[in-house]
Structure 1
Amino acid sequence: MAHWLVKSEPAKWSFDDQIAAGDKGTFWNGVRNHVAKQNLMAMQVGERVFFYHSNEGKEIVGIVEVIKPYYPDHTDATNKFGMVDLKAVKAFSTPVTLEAVKTDPALADMMLVKNSRLSVQPVTEAEWRHVCRLGGVRNA
């Protein structure tokens, strides 16, 4: 199974909001970048995803899970983009800041470092395990 990272501005949708959505989860919409769209299209039910607070905080704060695969985004008037549904799995006991990611040699090639503006990104297995350790999460 693949791993991913999604970004959200906490003032618009925070990890606390995601937790409040419960097991029914919520749709992840608003992506308007074709590379991010391709990443959403590649996501499979059951795959785990880092939840990153962008702009405010700039940190990975928890893990969500894909509960519904790619389907049309009802907010896209062009009908070119889609979304997936996600549910919260676990909050990090220690958020992993962008600064920590950028200064960690084990994460030097992470997409968050190489292309920090991309809103939906793949995460390698090694990066996943390392960030989970930094965040205080085991067996994620």
Structure 2
Amino acid sequence: MTQQYWLFKAEPHIYGIDHLASAPNKTGRWDGIRNYQARNFLRDQVKLGDEVFIYHSSCKHVGIVGIAKIVRTAYPDPTQFNPESDYYDPKSTPENPRWFSVDIKLTKRFSRLISLAEIKVQPGLENMVLVKQGRLSTQPVTPSEWKLISGLASTQTP
């Protein structure tokens, strides 16, 4: 099976890289996805061992902050069944779940944020889903985009 790459968006005040870093074994559930295209990626395409950029959004400093690995593939998101959850969906049932989660493990925390502004001006990233379809919370990253961004993470800005 071919290695795939992804970008997962997180609101750091809800569940960001700090939460993942402090979780047992640096592993956590990626839940709360309520967009059908993002759900389909999680359910149908994200595979064990795939690598993920963790992207902080809806905050003062947006950008990629680290890398995680998929350690458990899609399973029903338990938040959809909890009436007290912000992610409750009364139309979902355990027999017919609508929403899915995956588990990820933090593997690398970047020494600096790779900002959206930096990504937008980087040659070779102009067709990235993040640039073209910015609001999607779970999105594929091509191998060449992965390599370019990983290279940026190991460089320092002056």
Q: Which amino acid aligns with 2:99?
A: F
- The alignment of Structure 1 onto Structure 2 pairs a total of residues equal to 137
Q: Which runs of at least 4 in structure 1 moved beyond 4 Å after TM superposition?
A: none
Unaligned 5+ runs, structure 1: none
Distance of 2:130 and 2:67 partners within structure 1: 16
How is 1:1-140 mapped onto 2 (pairs within 5 angstroms)?
1-23=3-25, 25-41=27-43, 42-56=45-59, 57-76=61-80, 77=89, 78=92, 79-136=97-154
**In 1, are the aligned partners of 2:62 and 2:116 still within 8 Å (CA)?**
yes
Shift of 1:23: 2.4
What TM-score results when the alignment is normalised by the length of structure 2? 0.83
* Cα deviation digits, residues 92-115 of structure 1 (max 9, x gap): 122110001111121000010000
Structure number with bigger Rg: 2
Identity %: 38
Q: Which amino acid aligns with 1:40?
A: L
**In 1, are the aligned partners of 2:20 and 2:26 still within 8 Å (CA)?**
no
Q: Helix, strand or coil for the counterpart of 2:15?
A: coil
> CA RMSD, aligned part only?
1.2
What TM-score results when the alignment is normalised by the length of structure 1? 0.93
